Amino acid sequence: MDNRIYLIDDDESIRESLTFLFSTLNWPVEPFASIEAFTQQYDRETALTGCLLLDMRMPGKGGLSWLEEGVWPWPLLPVVMMTGHGTIDACRRAFHHGVFEFFTKPLDADRLIETVQNAFAESETRAAGWLEFVRVRTLFSTLSVRETEVLHELMAGLSNKEVAQRLNLSPRTVEAHRAAIFSKLGVTSLVQAIREHDKLQYV
């Protein structure tokens, strides 16, 4: 997996010092002077992995305001917030919007390095979960509308006979749909099918 650090800070000296620090560890860094510069380059790439170091306050749009705008488009990318003006309220708001860690400048280099390592590990975990979600979503997309209806009734605890009555089908037809569902999902029991379905709750 291509773990890299995306650094957004309007302070050129911060960008230069952090880029140098991470380069000594052979970690690729992409520095940006503004949120706009970052989004122009990566607006359509939602599967970014690694770590985003984000300054909370910048001219124009700041990091915290950006996070509070809506759904975060890069779910695999942990955000580490940095600020020279940290408050308890700002920290609380940042964590409320999914920030992985919160730093007050001047930055502690050792703690920052450890945090970035942890963010890389978190990103890899999220990526693995996302790949599993995509796999399961693809499987369930192969089910017909009727098969999906039958599966939902079965997962609700209904017997084949009860499903047949509710959907105006014969029990034999329900059994045929059930067998087709299990075959398409690669499972051998309803419990396994439910476990696979639960994975669709990833996002």
- Peptide linkage before 28 cis (omega within 30 of 0): no
Residue 26 gets which letter from DSSP?
A: T
Residue pair 184/143 in contact (Cβ under 8 Å)? The answer is yes
Residue 43 gets which letter from DSSP?
A: T
Q: What letters, b where the CB count within 10 A reaches 16 and e where it falls short, cover 105-139? A: eebeeeebeebbeebbebbeebbeebeeeeebeeb
- CATH number of the domain at 142-202, out of 3.40.50.300, 3.20.20.150, 1.10.10.10, 3.40.50.150? 1.10.10.10
4-131 folds as Rossmann fold (3.40.50)
CA 4, CA 123: separation in Å to the nearest integer?
Answer: 10
Question: 158 in the Ramachandran plot: left (φ > 0), alpha (ψ -120 to 50) or beta?
Answer: beta
Q: What local confidence, expressed as pLDDT, does residue 183 receive?
A: 96
Every domain of the chain and the residues it spans: 4-131, 142-202
CA 150, CA 139: separation in Å to the nearest integer?
Answer: 16
Q: What local confidence, expressed as pLDDT, does residue 15 receive?
A: 96
pTM equals 0.76
What are the residue ranges in the chain where pLDDT is below 70?
A: 1, 202-203
Q: What local confidence, expressed as pLDDT, does residue 81 receive?
A: 94
Residue pair 149/163 in contact (Cβ under 8 Å)? The answer is no
